[in-house]
Amino acid sequence: MVTSLGNQNLIDNQLWQVYCDIYFSGYLRKQPLLHSLNNKKGAVISIWNPLGGHFCQLKNNQLGRAKRTLLRHVNHTHFLLWGCSKDFTYRELSVFIEVNQNEAQRFAKLAQQLAYYYIEDGMLVLKSTYQVNTQQELGKLSKHIITRPNSLGLSNLTSGLGKGFGIENFLKTNLRTIQ
C-alpha cells in the first residue's frame, strides 16, 4: 500500500519488507550479472509497475520501452536486468544505471518508483525515493544475485504483484552504453 502526503509517496511496512527480499538476475540467462556489476557504483531501478501499482504485461512493456527510450538520451552507462523473487516466480524488468546517489534518486523519481537499490563497494542498499532518510542496508550484493533456472521460460513468470504483494523487483543484464 502507498500513502501519499502532498508530493511524498510513503511505502507501508509490508511493501518495504517485500522490497528488502530482492534478488537480481541477468536479463540474458547466460550473462554474468555479478561480473557486470563488479566495481560499479549506481542504481537499480524498476521500469515496470510505477508507484507500487500492478500493471498487465502489455502496459509494463509499453512503460519499459518509454523509459528505455529516455535513457538513450542520457550520458550514463546502463543495462537491463531482472529484480525477482528467489525462486523467480516474480520478476520486474529493471535497469542498472551508473550514477551517483543524487542522480539515482532523480532517475527513480522520473521512473515513478517508490524505492530503488543503490550499489557501492559491493554492498546493496534499499532507498526510498521520496523519503530521503529512509534506507536499509541489505548486505553484500553477491548474496542477492541468482541465475534464472533453465527450466523456466519467461512466459511462465508473473510480471507484477504476485501472491500477497510478491514485488521482489527487477532486473537482468543486457549491456548497453548510452551515448
Indicate if the pLDDT at residue 8 is higher than 90: no
Q: Which amino acid is at 45?
A: I
* Beta strands in the chain, from DSSP E residues, in sequence order: 2-5, 8-11, 23-26, 42-46, 77-84, 91-97, 115-120, 123-128, 135-140, 175-177
Q: What is the pTM of this model?
A: 0.79
Is residue 7 very low, low, confident or very high in pLDDT (cuts 50, 70, 90)?
Answer: very low
Indicate if the pLDDT at residue 123 is higher than 60: yes
Is residue 29 very low, low, confident or very high in pLDDT (cuts 50, 70, 90)?
Answer: confident
Mean pLDDT of all residues in 1-20: 71
pLDDT digits (tens, 9 = 90+) for 37-86: 878 999 999 999 999 888 898 999 888 888 887 777 777 888 999 999 99
**Domain ranges within the chain, ordered by starting residue:** 2-177
pLDDT digits (tens, 9 = 90+) for 109-118: 999 999 999 9
CA atoms of 68 and 47, how far apart (whole Å):
8
Indicate if the pLDDT at residue 88 is higher than 80: yes
CA atoms of 43 and 145, how far apart (whole Å):
15
